[in-house]
Structures are given as C-alpha cells and as structure tokens.
Chain A
C-alpha cells in the first residue's frame, strides 16, 4: 500500500508560537524551537519531519496562516 508522506513549511517570522499546531498534530511532527524569532516568539518547526503525513491539521488551525503543507505518495 502506498504511504503518504508530508512536509510542512513554516514562515518563521510570522509564527507567534501559540502551539495550537503542535497540539493538533496527530503524529508528533511539530515542536517549538528552542530559539526565538525576530518578535521573540518560540516558533513552530517540524522537529520530526519523517513523521509528517501531510494531513494539514496544523495549517488548518494556525491562526496566522504561517504553514504550507506538501504531501506525496511514496
């Protein structure tokens, strides 16, 4: 059976570090960075990129629309 693998792109400077994406991610792909962006927010990033299934849950809940999602069949 083909597997779906995903990859997200996060706009670092627009992210406000609200963590709602992290909570909504079903596979534990997302974590918050240990460093801050220009506004002082701990931005979200795909800490475990190989876990991403491209479901776009993160992008769906993001209040600031900073996430773009790609997915493909492997």
Chain B
C-alpha cells in the first residue's frame, strides 16, 4: 500500500489512536469524492463492530447511490427494490426478531417511491432502524429533483430552480414520522464535521439499544451533500449544506423515548 506518513517514530502499534474497522470491507467506495455516504457507512460499520453485532446484523440496501452498500459493510445484506426497504426489513425483523435490522435509504428511495412503506413501517412501530441519507437530489441517476430538493434549488429536472407552485414543497419526512406513535427515536444529524460525526455515531448507538429493548422504530436522518449533483466541490458543498439545507432541515433530536 502506497502511503504518506507523518512523524515515523510515533507510528507504532501501541500508539494507534484511530484506524478503520474491519467491518468496513477494504473495497474502494464507488461514491464521489467528499460524499457523505462514505462517512455514514464507516460510522455504521464502526458501531456494528464496537457493539459486537456483526453476526447479528441484517441490513437492507436501497436503489440509489448506496445500492452497493453490500460491497462495503461486512454483514448479511438484502438489496431491496426502490423504496421498499422498510417492507423488506419488516419481514426480516418479524421473522428474526433477535437480529439487529437496519435499512439505509436515500431521499428518492424513502420519500418519493417509498413514502407508503416508510410511513407504514413507522406507523406499525416496526423494531428496525431506518437510516435516511438526505441530500436533496437523485445522485445515482444524474442529479434530478427529489422530494427533498429545496425551493429554488436547481437540478436536471428543475433547471430553473424548484418551483413550489408546480412541483410542491420539499417533504420533511422526519417531521412526519415523528408524529407517529410507532416511532420511538427520531433525529436529524450530519457527518460533515468531526463533532457531527461523533453525534451521529452516538445516535446510531442509541438506536441499537432501543432496538434491543423493543421500543419501536428508530429513524435517523443524515442531512448530507452531493457534490456531483449540486455541481460543487466537496468543501463547497458542505458549506452550501450548512447555509441552505440546515435551516430547512435543522439538526437535532425530534423525539426521544422516555427513560
């Protein structure tokens, strides 16, 4: 492996402060440079590793950029039809109730074609974790408008900017599912700074605990960037996300179970 390193004397096994988890498979991710998916995958894999869940986990990957999640996280995974991951996960969890079951979906998958499955899984309070990566655009198919695209935001199918009059307003799925009694933990996070990465990891860890306690559906939205779809550099996109996405999709816990 070709590497560049800092001060060589410090590089000793006893000084190891951080290395990637083995649950993250050593494949090159197919995501664009700077895409939040990679970070989200990594911390999900870390939590699975740290909680000792690798042999207990069954994940469901979507249609979208993260369809190939099954090549990156070393757990049993089912790839679901577009939008249907919560239905697939429902059956897995009901048939194998002692496993840790999660779905990992993008905004098109969860909030467009999959709206019914999302709402009904949450309404039934299925004991699963839904991870919702929201970057306000359809990445894999080339940058079309998504249900979460902001008003005025340009995309290949809203070239003049999203016009709420003809295209509707962005859907705040997290707010919607928070109103359902079936959800127990609903939160919005991001993964673009170290502090936010830590918070998101904590959220995933909480969701693991709540699932063990049969508390209902956990729903973690990760507001993320799409440098390619937004036609920006990665660092520009993170800044744009802070200035534009966060006011519309504010970070924080929306619903936490009573202790």
Q: Which residues of B contact A43 (CB under 8 A)?
A: 4
Complex CA gap A49/B8 in Å reads 10
Q: Which residues of B contact A37 (CB under 8 A)?
A: 2
Q: Is the beta-carbon distance between B5 and A24 smaller than 8 angstroms?
A: no
Q: Is the beta-carbon distance between B15 and A72 smaller than 8 angstroms?
A: yes
Complex CA gap A44/B132 in Å reads 29
Interface size on B, residues (CB 8 A): 42
Q: Is the beta-carbon distance between A69 and B4 smaller than 8 angstroms?
A: no
Chain A proximity of B193: nearest CB distance (Å): 6
Q: Which residues of B contact A67 (CB under 8 A)?
A: 18
Interface size on A, residues (CB 8 A): 44
Q: Which residues of B contact A33 (CB under 8 A)?
A: 4
| Most A C-beta atoms less than 10 A away, residue of B20, B36, B37 | B20
Q: Is the beta-carbon distance between A61 and B2 smaller than 8 angstroms?
A: no
> In residues 31-62 of chain A, which contact B (Cβ within 8 Å)?
33, 37, 41, 43, 45-46, 49-50, 52, 54-57, 59-62
Chain A proximity of B141: nearest CB distance (Å): 21
Asked whether B42 is an interface residue with its Cβ less than 8 Å from the other chain, the reply is yes
Q: Is the beta-carbon distance between B28 and A14 smaller than 8 angstroms?
A: yes
Q: Is the beta-carbon distance between A10 and B3 smaller than 8 angstroms?
A: yes
A49: nearest chain-B partner, CB-CB = B6
Asked whether B31 is an interface residue with its Cβ less than 8 Å from the other chain, the reply is yes
Q: Is the beta-carbon distance between A19 and B15 smaller than 8 angstroms?
A: no
Q: Which residues of B contact A19 (CB under 8 A)?
A: 34, 233-235
Asked whether B192 is an interface residue with its Cβ less than 8 Å from the other chain, the reply is yes
Q: Is the beta-carbon distance between B5 and A7 smaller than 8 angstroms?
A: yes
Q: Which residues of A contact B4 (CB under 8 A)?
A: 9-10, 12, 33, 43, 45-46
Q: Is the interface of A mostly helix, strand, loop or mixed?
A: mixed
A59: nearest chain-B partner, CB-CB = B18
Asked whether B197 is an interface residue with its Cβ less than 8 Å from the other chain, the reply is yes
B201: nearest chain-A partner, CB-CB = A60
Chain B proximity of A71: nearest CB distance (Å): 5
A71: nearest chain-B partner, CB-CB = B17
Known: A20-B192, A65-B38, A65-B42. A9 touches B17 (CB 8 A): no
Asked whether B29 is an interface residue with its Cβ less than 8 Å from the other chain, the reply is yes
Q: Is the beta-carbon distance between B16 and A68 smaller than 8 angstroms?
A: yes
Complex CA gap A41/B7 in Å reads 24
Q: What are 23 inter-chain pairs, A to B, with CB distance below 8 A? A: A6-B10, A9-B11, A16-B32, A17-B33, A18-B235, A19-B34, A19-B234, A20-B192, A20-B235, A24-B193, A46-B5, A52-B6, A56-B194, A60-B194, A61-B193, A61-B194, A61-B197, A63-B29, A63-B39, A64-B31, A65-B20, A69-B18, A69-B19
B residues touching A (Cβ–Cβ < 8 Å)? 1-12, 15-20, 24, 28-29, 31-39, 42, 191-194, 197-198, 227, 233-235, 238
Closest 4 CB pairs of A and B: A63-B38, A18-B34, A7-B6, A16-B33
